[in-house]
Amino acid sequence: MPGTCSMTNLVPKKKQITPTEPILDSGIMIVVSAPGFKDVKDNKLLSGYEGAMVQELLRAVGLTMTECYITSVLKEVPDGRDIYSLCRKKAEVDKEARELGWSVYPHLPLASGKYLRPFHCLSLFTLQKEILDRKPRVIIALGQLPLWALCGVSTIQKSRGVLTNSTLAPGTFVVPTYAPDTIRKKYEFKSVAIMDYMKAKNYAEGTLKAFDRTILVPETIDEARELAQTHINPHPVIASDIETIKNKFITCISFAGTAEIGIVYPFIKRVGNRHESIWSKSEELELLRLTKEILEREDQVIVGQNFQYDLSFLFKYGIKPRNVCQDTMFMHHALYLELPKSLGFMGSVYTAMFQWKDMRPRGKEGESTKADD
């Protein structure tokens, strides 16, 4: 992130609002986009209806604003309420950056073709210093601009709720969530935001922890059998999941007896524009037999996500799982009828996992599909 003193001459001279210090520090920092006109009048961030919304969300999880450090990305009220009014096209920001002595404009767009003007980017240095000085346990990013400033991405719908390592201050984790104004316009987002606030609180208190997970993929049938004996068979409860291609074939099946170790049996790989079996015919039959042994055990309980989808494919392969007693999608939906029930959403709410759903191409390309919602 380049910096230069010469750009300060271009920053509009407006009243700046100082961050709000907590009375009782919870270790949580809240970052909003910019102060509003009422904030300027009261000389306090989140003093208007947006503050009332944030206070309500914090109280829902047992916190108050007096326990949080509150700051903003932009330190002054922007010209116009729309953040996009502060943006220009790529060619324009590149020109402004060169005029300021920058070798290159370093930031990704806030939206397609919309780049924050260089002199507004100066506020990122101030925000970075605040984070390094305060050392918060976690940051709640309210909306698109704080997410962009803290993590370098701007897709709030995809990133919300996902515990994300900050690119602005690496080592500091961020929980992105909806801005109060967005919740006001779409009130159904309120219950989701409460879950995000609870996640941030749990992470700050140390009751929610991120930990490493290991995925084991056998290269031989003997190794597949050994992995099952070591990591699957000893556990009374296992989780299982399949991936399919074009709703025709199973590409892989996974098992886990613990939260730390998962096993994946692959069947099909993609080579160019076609798909090929990884194993010989006899090896694939043996791997299916091993899968059948695992899923048809009478002394083991199986947990899945929308497992009725998995069953429809497993039955075609002659595999009839026993003791499928819990389905995470149905259990979540029974608790929260109004909320999305996809595995990606549930992961953002209940776990400290990153956005793993983007690790593989999915959908039209036929690489991997699963109806998990």
Instruction: Map 21-87 to HEC letters.
Output: CCCCCCCEEEEECCCCHHHHHHCCCCCCHHHHHHHHHHHHCCCCHHHEEEEECCCCCCCCCCHHHHE
- Across residues 314-329, what is the average pLDDT? 93
CA separation for the pair 56, 194 (Å, rounded)? 9
CA separation for the pair 150, 70 (Å, rounded)? 14
CA separation for the pair 238, 261 (Å, rounded)? 11
Confidence of residue 269 (pLDDT cuts 50, 70, 90): confident
| DSSP bridge partners of 104 | none
Cite the DSSP H helix spans in 4-72: 37-42, 49-60
| pLDDT score of 212 | 83
CA separation for the pair 194, 328 (Å, rounded)? 20
pLDDT higher than 70, residue 29: yes
CA separation for the pair 74, 60 (Å, rounded)? 28
Confidence of residue 273 (pLDDT cuts 50, 70, 90): confident
8 A C-beta contact, residue 6 and residue 13:
no
% of the chain with per-residue pLDDT over 70 = 90
- Across residues 332-350, what is the average pLDDT? 89
Domains of the chain: 5-205 (3.40.470.10), 214-358 (3.30.420.10)
